[in-house]
Structure 1
Amino acid sequence: MKVSLLRAVGVATAAYGVAVAAAPGLLARPSGLVDTAGRTAPATRTSLRPLAWRDAVSGLALALAPEGPALRTAAYVRIAADLGDAALLGATLPGRGRRAVAVAVSVGWGALSVAGLLADEQR
């Protein structure tokens, strides 16, 4: 397991989650979940915030869990969330291009966690 990679994924995920919870438009705009003026509807903001907090908390767990089973479990949770995002956003976002980008980004983040689990730590 490459702990440093898992920690980096955790910190990045937690920071992004907090940022989107504070400003849901950071996720809504590139996802096409805004009106023609680029505004995010109140219901969309409300719907995105739990997703953002999930990312913040799962990222924090990945960043802080002790090495061993706890860190492995945090990585599995993060991977499951990323693959779930790929499946759900890839099937439901407006526009084929946006769906493709969402799948690529989600699978990419999940792949980083998989790589962290599979790699040997250089000590």
Structure 2
Amino acid sequence: MKVSLLRAVGVATAAYGVAVAAAPGLLARPSGLAGDGGRTAPEVRTSLRPLAWRDAVSGLAMALAPDGPALRTAAYVRIAADFGDAVLLGATLPGRARRVGAVAVSVGWGALSVAGLLADGQKQEARKGPTRPRGAGPRRG
């Protein structure tokens, strides 16, 4: 697991979540959920804030969870949220360009977390060096 990548994704996600909770228009405008003049209706702000807090809290969990199972679990939650966003926003946002953009952003962030989880296995294999079959006898140099 590449802890530094997971922590960076967590910090960025937490910061974005706090920002959107404070100013839902940051998400509403590019998503096509803002009205005329870029104003975000009260009901849209109310709907976006819980999503923003979900991002803030799940990002904070990734940033602060102890390395190991806790960090993996936080990353899995974040990945599920990102891929869930891709499915739901990709199916429901107004306008094809906005749907495609939301899917790309959501899948991109989820993919960063997946990469952070998978990096360990690749890195560990590189450290081990070449493997020899059992019973192959002593290595000749």
Give distance in 1, aligned partners of 2:38 and 2:23. Answer: 13
1:18 corresponding residue in structure 2: 18
Q: Calculate the aligned-residue CA RMSD, in Å.
A: 1.0
1:101 corresponding residue in structure 2: 101
The 4+ residue runs of structure 1 with deviation greater than 6 A are none
Give distance in 2, aligned partners of 1:73 and 1:35. Answer: 38
AA in 1 matched with 2:58: S
**Deviation of the 1:37 alpha carbon:** 1.4
Superposition TM-score, scaled by structure 2 size: 0.85
Give distance in 2, aligned partners of 1:38 and 1:74. Answer: 34
Structure of greater relative contact order (alpha carbons < 8 Å, 6+ residues apart): 1
- Give the percent of matched residue pairs that are identical in Structure 1 and Structure 2: 89
Give distance in 2, aligned partners of 1:82 and 1:13. Answer: 10
2:128 corresponding residue in structure 1: none
Give distance in 2, aligned partners of 1:95 and 1:89. Answer: 11
**Deviation of the 1:66 alpha carbon:** 0.2
Size of the aligned set, in residue pairs, is: 122
1:61 corresponding residue in structure 2: 61
> Rg larger in 1 or in 2?
2
Give distance in 1, aligned partners of 2:66 and 2:22. Answer: 28
Question: Which structure 2 residues correspond to residues 79-118 of structure 1 after superposition, within 5 A?
Answer: 79-118=79-118
Superposition TM-score, scaled by structure 1 size: 0.97
**Aligned partner of residue 28 in structure 2, secondary structure:** helix
Give distance in 2, aligned partners of 1:83 and 1:47. Answer: 19
AA in 1 matched with 2:17: G
1:77 corresponding residue in structure 2: 77
1:33 corresponding residue in structure 2: 33
**Deviation of the 1:36 alpha carbon:** 1.9
Mind listing any 5+ residue stretches in structure 2 that lack a counterpart? Answer: 125-141
Give distance in 1, aligned partners of 2:79 and 2:8. Answer: 14
Give distance in 2, aligned partners of 1:112 and 1:44. Answer: 28
Comparing 96-105 with 113-122, greater Cα deviation is found at 113-122
1:49 matched to 2:33: no
Mind listing any 5+ residue stretches in structure 1 that lack a counterpart? Answer: none
Give distance in 2, aligned partners of 1:55 and 1:23. Answer: 14
**Deviation of the 1:50 alpha carbon:** 0.1
